[in-house]
Structure 1
Amino acid sequence: MVKEKSEVRILNFSEEWGLEVIFGKRIQNTFQRHIHSTYLFGLVEAGTRSITCGDDTYCIVEKELFVLQPSQVHACTCSADHCYSILSVTPEMVEEIVAQHLGSKHSRPFFPEICHKNEHLTQQLQNVFTLIKTQGMSHHALTLIHQYISTLLRHQPATTPKDIQLPEPVVDSACQFLKKNHAQKLPLSSLAEHARLSPFHFQRIFTKRMGISPNDYLQAHRVAEARQQLSMNIPLSELAISLGFFDQSHFTRTFRKVMGVSPGNYRKTNSN
C-alpha cells in the first residue's frame, strides 16, 4: 500500500474577506513556540493535536475544536494521522462580529477556553469547511462564519485578558524593522544596534514581550513571505536566497518546521 503524502492547502481570502482557510492532511510535526496575528478556529478531523500554552497542555481529538487568540504563544504536537481544518480570521473581522452580537463596539475579544467539546459548534464549523471545500468562498459561507462565531460567543462569552500588554515602542519598532528587512542577514547584534540596546537586553525584552525570540519571529515572517511567492515559478534555490535564508536546505528545514510540509510539497498542493 502506498503511503499517502502530507499536504497543506491554503485558501487565502484576506484581501476581500479578512480570512484564510487552511486544510492539513496527515501532518505529523512538532511546532515549536510561535504566535499568529489572527484568531484561529480549528477542527481536528482525524488524529490528535496537543496544544501547549504556558504550563497547560490540551489534547484535542477527532471532532473537537480549538480556539487560539492573536499573539497567543503556543506549541503544537500532532500525531501521524493528524488531519485538520482551520479558519484564520483577522482581529478586525472578529471585532465586527462581536460588535454586531453585543450591540456595540468592544475591545478585542479574548476566548478563555482553548479546547471545545460541543457537538453543535463542531457541526457549525464543519458546515463552513464543507461549503468552502465544495463551492469556495461565498456570501453564504461568510454568513455561516458569522453564525459560528456568534454561537461561540454565546457558548463562551468573550472576556478581556487579565494581562493586557502595554505598548512597547522598542519591540514594536524591531518587529517592523524585521519585516521590512527580512531578506537581509540580521544577526542579533544588528537588531540590538537598531534598538540601541545591548544584544542581551534586546533579546530579553523582545522575548518577554513577544513570547518568542527575534530569530524565530524573523523566520516565521520569511516563511509567510515564501508562501506568497511559492505561487510564482521561481526556483526554490533562488527563492531561498532572496528571502534571506542561507541556502535552499536552510529554507526547506525552516519552512517544514513552520508549516509541517516542504516548500516543494506546498507549491504542488497550492499551485491551482
Structure 2
Amino acid sequence: MNAPLFRDRARYWRSPLLPGADMVTAEYRDHTFAPHWHDAYAVPVIEAGAEAYTYRGERQVAETGTVPVINPGEIHTGSRAIETGWRYRVTYVPVDFIQSLANELAGRTQPMPWFPVQAIRDPDLARRVLLAHRLLEAEDDPLAAETALVDALSTLIARHAQQQPESVRLAADSPRIATMKARLATDLTEPISLTALAQEVGLSTFHAARLFTRETGLAPHAWRNQLRLQRALAPLRAGVPVTEVAAASGFTDQSHFTRHFRRMFGVPPGRWQAS
C-alpha cells in the first residue's frame, strides 16, 4: 500500500513556559521554503517522511526520527525529499535561553552553542524533543511539559553542541557589511537603490552587491525582505491588521507581503496571526 501524501498545512503557536519562542506543528508536500534565516535556534524533529534543505552550501536530508537543528542567522531552505513530503514539529528557541542553559550545564559562561550542519541522528534525543513539543502543545501538565523541555534542550546541548566555526573574511569586509546592513535596516519603508548602498561603503554597485551576497548568503534586497518579515512578527502577534503591518514593513502591497511571508513561514500572515 502506498503511503498517504502529506498536505501543506501548519499551526503556529506559543507557550508561556518558553517566553519569546514560536512553535509549529506542520506537514508539507508541495510547499518550498525560500532561502531565509531565523533569529532563534530552529529545533525540529521529523515525525514522518523526509525533508531536504540547503544549509551552508550543502544539500541535507532529514529523515524520520532526526533532529535537523538550524543555528540562528543561518540561511537555509526546505522542501520534500521524498514523494510523500514530511511532517514535523519545530521549536524556535530564543538564543538567550539556549545560552543560559549551556552556562548552567557547564557551571560557567560558555561560547555560543553551535550545532552540526547535518541532521542529528540520535533516536533518544528525537524522542525527548518530540515529547517536549507534544506536552507543550497539549497544555495539560505545565510541570511535566517544562521538565521535558529542559531535558530535551539540555540533552541537545550536552551531546551535540560545538564551537561556532570561524567565518573566512577579508579584514575590510566586516565593517562594510555592517554599514550596508545598518543602511538597509534604518527605515524599511524607504526605497534604497544599489547605487546609494554602494556609495555608503565606497564600492561600485557590482562589488557592493557581490560582497554583500558572498558574506550574508542573500542579495541586499532579499536580505532586507527577510528583515522586514522578522520585524513584522511582533505587530502581527499584537493583533495589528495585516494590511497595516505590510505597509509599515515596507512592502508595496498586502499581496507582496503575503507572498514573501508564506515562502518563509509556510502559511499566509493572516493564518499565522489567527493561530
Is TM > 0.5 for Structure 1 vs Structure 2?
A: yes
Deviates more, 1:67-76 or 1:149-158: 149-158
Deviates more, 1:18-27 or 1:100-109: 18-27
- Partner Cα separation in structure 2 for residue 98 and residue 29 of structure 1: 35
Q: Structure 1 residues 12, 213: closer, same or farther in 2, change over 3 A?
A: farther
**Aligned AA (1:56):** E
TM-score by length of structure 2 reads 0.81
- Partner Cα separation in structure 2 for residue 172 and residue 13 of structure 1: 34
Secondary structure of the 2:68 match is strand
Q: Which runs of 5+ in 2 are unaligned?
A: 1-5
**Aligned AA (1:110):** W
Task: Work out whether residues 8 and 31 of structure 2, in 8 Å CA contact, stay in contact via their aligned partners in 1.
Answer: no
Q: Structure 1 residues 139, 17: closer, same or farther in 2, change over 3 A?
A: farther
Deviates more, 1:61-70 or 1:142-151: 142-151
What is the CA-CA distance between 1:114 and the residue it aligns to? 2.7
Q: Structure 1 residues 137, 10: closer, same or farther in 2, change over 3 A?
A: farther
What is the CA-CA distance between 1:24 and the residue it aligns to? 2.4
Q: Structure 1 residues 266, 136: closer, same or farther in 2, change over 3 A?
A: farther
- Is 1:207 the counterpart of 2:209? The answer is no
How do 1:23-42 residues align onto structure 2 when only pairs under 5 Å count? 23-26=25-28, 28-42=30-44
Deviations 1:56-86 (A, max 9, x none): 3221122321111122232221366433211
Q: Structure 1 residues 233, 70: closer, same or farther in 2, change over 3 A?
A: closer
Q: Structure 1 residues 139, 205: closer, same or farther in 2, change over 3 A?
A: farther
**Aligned AA (2:184):** L
Deviates more, 1:132-141 or 1:121-130: 132-141
- Partner Cα separation in structure 2 for residue 178 and residue 139 of structure 1: 44
- Is 1:178 the counterpart of 2:184? The answer is yes
Deviations 1:129-148 (A, max 9, x none): 01110118956544433322
What is the CA-CA distance between 1:211 and the residue it aligns to? 1.5
What is the CA-CA distance between 1:12 and the residue it aligns to? 6.7
Structure 1 residue ranges (4+ consecutive) displaced by more than 6 angstroms after TM superposition: 164-167
**Aligned AA (2:137):** K
- Partner Cα separation in structure 2 for residue 219 and residue 137 of structure 1: 39
- Partner Cα separation in structure 2 for residue 223 and residue 206 of structure 1: 19
**Aligned AA (2:58):** D
**Aligned AA (1:145):** L
Task: Work out whether residues 49 and 60 of structure 1, in 8 Å CA contact, stay in contact via their aligned partners in 2.
Answer: yes
Give the one of 43, 46, 50 matched to 1:44.
46
Secondary structure of the 1:230 match is helix
Give the one of 9, 14, 32 matched to 1:6.
9
What is the CA-CA distance between 1:9 and the residue it aligns to? 0.9
Q: Structure 1 residues 214, 140: closer, same or farther in 2, change over 3 A?
A: farther
Task: Work out whether residues 8 and 30 of structure 2, in 8 Å CA contact, stay in contact via their aligned partners in 1.
Answer: no
TM-score by length of structure 1 reads 0.82
1:265 aligns with 271
**Aligned AA (2:221):** N
User: RMSD across aligned C-alpha pairs, in angstroms?
Assistant: 3.0
- Partner Cα separation in structure 1 for residue 21 and residue 16 of structure 2: 5
How do 1:88-167 residues align onto structure 2 when only pairs under 5 Å count? 88-135=92-139, 138=142, 141-163=145-167
Q: Structure 1 residues 18, 261: closer, same or farther in 2, change over 3 A?
A: closer
What is the CA-CA distance between 1:13 and the residue it aligns to? 5.9
Paired residue total: 266
1:187 aligns with 193
Q: Structure 1 residues 12, 219: closer, same or farther in 2, change over 3 A?
A: farther
- Partner Cα separation in structure 2 for residue 183 and residue 27 of structure 1: 34
Percent identity over the alignment is 23
- Partner Cα separation in structure 2 for residue 27 and residue 8 of structure 1: 15
Give the one of 183, 200, 204 matched to 1:198.
204
What is the CA-CA distance between 1:258 and the residue it aligns to? 1.3
